[in-house]
Chains A and B, each alone.
Chain A
Amino acid sequence: MKRYLSNPLAIILFITPTLGLFTIFVFSSILKVFYYSFFDWNGVGTAVFTGVENYSKLFSSSTFATANANGFKFALVITVYQLFFASIFAIAVSDRWMPFRKFFRTAYFIPVVLSVTVVCQLWTSILDADNGLLNALLRAVGSDSRQNWLGSRYGAIYALAFVNAWQWMGYQFALIVAGIKSISTEYYEAAEIDGASATRAHWHVTIPLLKETYFFCLLVSVTGGIKAFTEIQIMTGGGPGTATHTLTYIMYRAAFVSHRYGYGLAAAAVLVLECLAVILLLNYLFRDREAKQLRRLAGGKP
């Protein structure tokens, strides 16, 4: 059996297309990002090696601190929002007796299907200070809100994060639904026999068994937050001032607008390292829990 599963020819055949494509287009590009982050370069002219100067400039700029804080806030909002709603909705539509479940499954996924531009335009209108739907609703219930949601120096980033969370929730929802489908019904039958309520059954069966799925969802949310870009570019342009800059946005503005390509790539390199740190941290956290769970299972079962 072992020889059957370590057929070297098969392994090489199976991994070559992916490794080739990925290395040529993505990994070589990542290497270039790191390489040119040590140069003073406008993207087209002659590159001058300047050592860590781009990094020291980046670390000492106030926008870098803002961008990191924004990445953290963004990640926090989308992770909490998406995992919470996606889990609840996924469990709800996985109930075979739920009426209209197919309608709900389609509805929750629709925002993912739309292009980011459409979603951003929509929420820009909703969040508008004067003509916005949100302020109109708030006024209808008696508050005198003229809150400028997207123009607020300290609040706008949460509004942007919400829009991103709202759009991509459906995507995590779909992954969790798919995950639940793959869980054998025996587990639930066993839980039912034990007299556990549906909620408890999900808490003790669904969520632990979907560890891989949740790991993946978390990874997508957290790194998605750190590298947030499109909503910012369309909805606030990084403003007011630099209040809604993120690392990706710093990278974009530096590289393509102010022609400091090397400096922009330094921001991108930091971004990649931060995301790597997140993956390691999540790996560590999940491995720890897995071990505990195994221990508990081992202790609990005679």
Chain B
Amino acid sequence: MKTSRKQSMGAKIFSICLWLYALVSLYPLLWMIFYSLKSNEEIFVSNPFGLPATWQWGNYVNAWTQYDVPLFFKNSLLVGAGTVLVTIFCALLFTFAISRLRWPFSRSVRTYVALGMFIPVQAIMIPVVQTVNQLGLLGTRWSLILPYAAINLSFATMVYFGFFQGIPKEMEEAACIDGANIYQTFLHIIAPLVSPATITIVIYVFLASWNEFILANVLVGGVAKLKTLPLGVLFFQGQFTTDWGSMGATMTIASIPAILVYVIFSEQVERAMTIGAAVKG
């Protein structure tokens, strides 16, 4: 009796901690929206954290008139979708080959691709831009999609690898006995089994591409029709002064779709995981 009450006391404290942490995680959303409706004076001096004292809707007007928000938005969306498709396609095939198929060097090849995890993008920025230039991709959307996908591949294959490892060997054996060829096995049996991983990667890769600034600035910063949303902040950062409120508006505009994508896909993750668990359990 005594121990169970003690336990429920501990559970209560634990649950309060969970709530507190969740609130601290959600606060930035509110903060960002408040921020986007304030003046520099409020942001830095009088009121950095609360509701705006005077609501500066003008910040959104500024953002909307300063650059072509729908166009930037469309570009971000296309680049994000393209990057996700290319990354998933390549990584899924590749990880299947290195984790399920038997061939010499598969381990070394895996380590080779993992190398990409350790290189900061700033270090390879110039060579990447040169490569894009040499391939004649400058001025096209591929100039962002292909480097983004290449950079995300290391990460994607590593996440997949963990999941592929967890699939019992009997899956392919059964498929083989049923007469499916290796491509059918991959497509109909293995690929659906790792869908929780796929969706996790989709979310991550999409967000990474959606928020990417450094390469976008150099690769499409000079191409008006291809610019992506993160480049919008450049219109508010002066050499000396910055219009922080309008920058906040720009960032809010850019964040909302990202949050939506996450919420929608996390639902999918949940569902996919339940299916996955059913297959395995």
Contacts and interface: CB of A to CB of B under 8 A. Distances in A.
Interface of A: 1-2, 4-8, 10-11, 13-15, 17-19, 21-22, 24-30, 32-33, 43, 85, 89, 92, 102-119, 121-122, 125-126, 128, 131, 133, 170-171, 174-175, 178-179, 181-182, 184-186, 212-213, 215-216, 219-220, 223, 227, 229, 248, 251-252, 255-256, 261, 264-265, 268, 271-272, 275-276, 279
Chain B facing A: main interface SS: helix
Interface string B23-52: 101101101100100000001110011000
B176 A1 contact: yes
B182 A4 contact: yes
A279 B35 CA distance: 41
Contacts of B98: 15
Given A26-B124, A186-B281, 17 more contacts: A14-B101, A29-B127, A106-B262, A107-B25, A114-B258, A119-B28, A122-B32, A125-B48, A133-B49, A175-B200, A178-B273, A185-B281, A219-B117, A227-B119, A275-B118, A279-B111, A279-B118
A114 B101 contact: no
Q: Which 6 A-B pairs have the closest CB atoms?
A: A275-B118, A25-B150, A18-B94, A29-B124, A29-B127, A14-B97
Nearest to B274: A181
Most buried by B among A85, A181, A220: A181
B205 interface: no
Given A133-B49, A174-B200, A229 B120 contact: yes
Most buried by B among A14, A105, A121: A14
B255 A115 contact: yes
A175 B233 CA distance: 31
B49 A178 contact: no
A18 B93 contact: yes
Contact of B112 (A27, A28, A102, A112): A27
29 contacts: A4-B172, A5-B101, A10-B101, A11-B97, A14-B97, A19-B109, A19-B113, A21-B86, A21-B90, A21-B149, A22-B116, A25-B131, A26-B115, A29-B127, A92-B14, A107-B23, A107-B26, A112-B207, A114-B28, A114-B29, A115-B211, A115-B255, A122-B32, A171-B204, A179-B162, A182-B196, A182-B280, A216-B162, A255-B123
Given A107-B26, A182-B277, A10 B158 contact: no
Contact of A6 (B23, B101, B213, B269): B101
Contacts of B166: 182, 212
B157 A182 contact: no
A223 B48 contact: no
A229 B125 CA distance: 14
